[in-house]
Amino acid sequence: MSQRAVSMPHGGWTAFIRRMAALAIVLSAAIPIYLLVKQAVTPEIESFAWPPLWLPRRITGAHLESVFTVGELRLAISRSIATALVCGVSATVMGAMMGYAMARSRWGRRTGMSAITATRLLPMIAVALPLALAFIAMGLYDRPSAIGLALVHTALALPMTALVLFPAFLAIPLELEEAALLDGASPLRIFIAIDLPLVRGALAAAFILSFILSWDEFGFAVLLQVTNRTLPPLLYYYTVFGDVGAASALALLMMIPAICVVVALRPMLRGALMAGSLR
Amino acid sequence: MDRASRNLRILFVAVPGAFMAAVMLVPAFGGLVLSFNRCGPSLGNYALLFADPMFWRALANNLVIPAGSLGLELALGLLLALYLTARPKPPAVVEIAAVLPFAIPEIVLLTLARYLFMPRGYVNAALVEAGFHPLGWLLPNHALALATVITVDAWHVTPVVMLILMGGLQSIAPEIYEAAALDGAGTFATFRHITLPLLFPSIVAAVVLRGVDALRIFSTTLVLTGAEGVPVLSTYAYQQWTDAQQPRVAMAASVILALAITVIGLAAASAMRRFGAAEAPR
């Protein structure tokens, strides 16, 4: 599998530098996360201390508990989960349609790819502002259910899910479909009964990626959910207005899905992250 | 082929296509129309925009920050990719730590960055304890704030560049390195004359992919410095929308940004094709 690109001489200085580099990389991730955890479990007075305390003096569970007891936080959590679930399901369904159509026609392969690439050129702000006006007119703006935001996240995730599912459909041999066609099955039935089960893995990947995209998305969320906030705008609000303990606890909570993905899917990490970077 | 399956394919393109158009293209087009409207068709929004010095600062920052960030993440991403693909292979925990800044939500990373760089933050604390003066990392209108924004932006996306370059490095056949070693090429000569030229398509892919993204910068400056501290076009439009209550000027600003991204994106894509890289790098 992986070919070693550059082989480095062993021993002496090189080994020392390599070990220091490994240490630096690990610390660059570990120290900031340690500080976040520290802020989440110490009283606010310690977080605002100057000079700051590097080690906690008193431990409190109040901030972590507030995530599950304070109404605003609980609402934001359930709103974020609901938005991400709607986005995950609808983007996967429509991405499967798109990816299948692209895989089964020569036209789709070229035009579909260009269309997907073109969606990356539109900046968030150029869509979000007029969309906010349209949502106000349609009654979808800042709804407690965040349904408007879920629609936007679906549109953001769709090119990515189509791109993930397209090669999976392309890999299915056409003979399988032709055999079913001879048996008199309708094209829709063939798609549902033969193609979909064969791309289960890609469907799961598309769902996870679009769930995470919605869970992480900040720009549209801060513009469209101004009072009925989801987690990212709520974290922004707490960070800017100085509720250090609650902000740190929320930030830790928001990292859970990402950490699950990194730990559980490490073998396919590279592919997943690459696809995620295409959003 | 068969009529029925053809109809199914058309339906399968039409439904997602119509959805994308309704949620993305129609509003974007509406915004374009509205930006040319001020109680009737007019260029007034653009006149207001071009008369505002803050807009020009935002435009300048919107070019400087992506350029700086792209350079930094290429340099760091290349170093990390070389390190992680070299032998002996570093432990898995190092690879996880290296991709972590991109794996965690952007807003979490920015929250962290704010706690690190704020006036009484951890970076200044470390400086003071080491016997230096604290610095104004996020001071509005200051070059240092620009550098901080570039650093944090690069911190978030360096793993993406690293992964693209790792893919490129692993596709170089080991026989080429063996041949170079037989010819007596040293580590640096091997890198300069073999790794770098063969890696070039991946570097171009990373620059195009990340460059277009970097131009859309919004949350990094908003969270770290606020809309006015280090303005970029997206936060300028956001600020015109929320605080200044000038939605049409906001849309004119976002039209300028979309135009800049399209022009730079198309130029980059044609450059990418010339260097013979694939359109959708994996």
More confidently predicted of A109 and A241 = A241
Pick among A14, A19, A25 to test the B interface (most B CBs inside 10 A): A25
The SS3 assignment for B91 reads coil
Q: Give residue limits of the domains in chain A.
A: 1-60, 62-276
A130–B30 CB contact, under 8 Å? yes
- CA-based nearest residue to B127, from A51, A36, A27, A45: A51
- Round to whole Å and give the CA distance between B265 and B258: 10
**Residue B265 with chain A: CB contacts under 8 Å:** 120-121
Taking 60 as the threshold, does the pLDDT of residue A6 lie above it?
Answer: no
Tell me what the mean pLDDT of segment B93-119 comes to.
92
Work out the minimum CA distance from B118 to partner chain A, whole angstroms: 11
Contacts of B31 (CB under 8 A, 6+ apart): A126, A127, A129, A130, B251, B254, B255
Interface contact B123, partner A, CB < 8 A:
no
Q: Look at residue B280 in the predicted model and tell me its pLDDT.
A: 40
Which tokens go with B86?
């070299």
Contacts of B268 (CB under 8 A, 6+ apart): B207, B208, B211, B212
User: What's the pLDDT band for B90 if we cut at 50, 70, 90?
Assistant: confident
How does DSSP assign A173-189, residue by residue?
-HHHHHHHHHTT--HHH
Q: What is the pTM of this model?
A: 0.89
What pLDDT score does A270 carry?
A: 57
| Alpha-carbon gap: A196 to the closest alpha carbon of chain B (Å) | 14
* Mutation target among A121, A152, A158, A236 for the B interface, most CBs of B within 10 A: A121
What is the token pair recorded at A46?
């310690």
- The pLDDT of residue A3: 43
User: What band does A94 get if pLDDT is binned at 50, 70 and 90?
Assistant: very high
d(CA B13, CA B2): 17
**Of B277 and A72, the one with more pLDDT:** A72
Q: What angle do CA B40, B42, B48 make, to 5 degrees?
A: 125
- A89: confidence class by pLDDT, cuts 50, 70, 90: very high
All residues at 6 or more sequence positions from B247 whose CB lies less than 8 Å from its CB, including other chains:
A129, A133, B34, B240, B241
Q: What is the C-alpha to C-alpha distance for residues A214 and A150, in angstroms, rounded to an integer? A: 8
Q: Which of A6-15, A234-243, B191-200 has the least mean pLDDT?
A: A6-15
- ipTM comes to 0.89
More confident residue, B64 or A8: B64
- List, for residues A113-145, the tens digit of each pLDDT value: 778 777 878 899 999 999 999 999 999 999 999
Chain B residues with CB under 8 Å of A127 CB are 24, 27-28, 31
* Cα–Cα separations (whole angstroms), residue A239 to A225, A244, B18, B108, B146: 17, 7, 38, 10, 20
Q: How many helices (H) and strands (E) does chain A have?
A: 15, 0
R_g of chain B, CA atoms, integer Å: 23
Q: Taking residues B199-220, what's their average pLDDT?
A: 89
To 5 degrees, how large is the angle CA A90–CA A200–CA A270? 90
- The 3-state DSSP class for residue A117 equals helix
Give the integer Cα–Cα distance in Å for B161 and B205. Answer: 9
Q: What is the pLDDT of residue A161?
A: 93
Residues with Cβ within 8 Å of B37's Cβ and at least 6 positions away in sequence, in order, are B45, B248
Distance CA A272, CA A95 (A): 16
Contact residues for A28 (Cβ-Cβ < 8 A; gap 6+): B97
Query: A65 falls in which pLDDT band (50, 70, 90)?
Result: confident
Residue B278 above 50 pLDDT?
no
Question: Long-range pairs for B243-250 at CB < 8 Å and ≥24 separation?
Answer: B246/B48, B247/A129, B247/A133, B247/B34, B248/B34, B248/B35, B248/B37, B248/B38, B248/B45, B249/B45, B249/B48, B249/B49, B250/A125, B250/A129
A3·B103 Cβ contact <8 A: no
- What is the pLDDT confidence band of residue B184, given thresholds at 50, 70 and 90? confident
Residue B245's region, left for phi above 0, alpha for psi from -120 to 50, else beta, is left
Say which of A151, A216, A266 has its CB closest to residue B105: A216
For residue B178, pLDDT beyond 70? yes
Chain A's closest residue to B79, CA to CA, is: A21
How much is the average pLDDT of B141-147? 91
| β-bridge partners, B87 | A7
Q: Which two tokens stand for residue A180?
A: 């079913």
Q: In chain B, what residues touch A254 (CB-CB under 8 Å)? A: 104-105, 107-108
Q: Do B172 and A5 count as a contact with CB atoms less than 8 A apart?
A: yes
Q: What is the pLDDT of residues B247-262, one digit of tens each?
A: 999 999 999 999 999 9
SS3 B168: helix
pLDDT at B105 over 60: yes
Assess contact for A10 and B90: CB atoms under 8 A. Answer: no
CA gap A134, A152 in Å, rounded = 12
State residue A279's pLDDT score.
45
Residues 6+ apart with CB under 8 A from A267: none
pLDDT tens per residue, range A142-165: 999 999 999 999 999 999 999 889
Residues with Cβ within 8 Å of B46's Cβ and at least 6 positions away in sequence, in order, are B35, B252
- Please state, in angstroms and rounded to a whole number, the distance separating the CA atoms of residues B191 and B181: 12
Categorize the per-residue pLDDT at A182 as very low, low, confident or very high, splitting at 50, 70 and 90.
confident
Write the pLDDT tens digit of every residue in B31-61.
999 999 888 888 989 999 999 999 999 999 9
Tell me the CATH class for A62-276.
mainly alpha
Question: Which of B74, B215, B265 lies closest to B154 in space, CA to CA?
Answer: B74
Q: How confident is the model at residue A271 (pLDDT cuts 50, 70, 90)?
A: low
CB A176 within 8 A of CB A150: no
pLDDT band at A268 (very low <50, low <70, confident <90, very high): low
Percent of all residues in chain B with a pLDDT value above 90, rounded to a whole number: 55
- A272 has a pLDDT exceeding 70: no
Q: pLDDT band for position A4 (50/70/90)?
A: very low
- What residue type is A256 in one-letter code? I
Average pLDDT value over all residues in chain B: 89
To which residue do tokens 């549902």 refer?
Answer: A192
* Cβ atoms within 10 Å, residue B91: 11
DSSP state of B90: P
Q: What is the pLDDT of residue B276?
A: 56
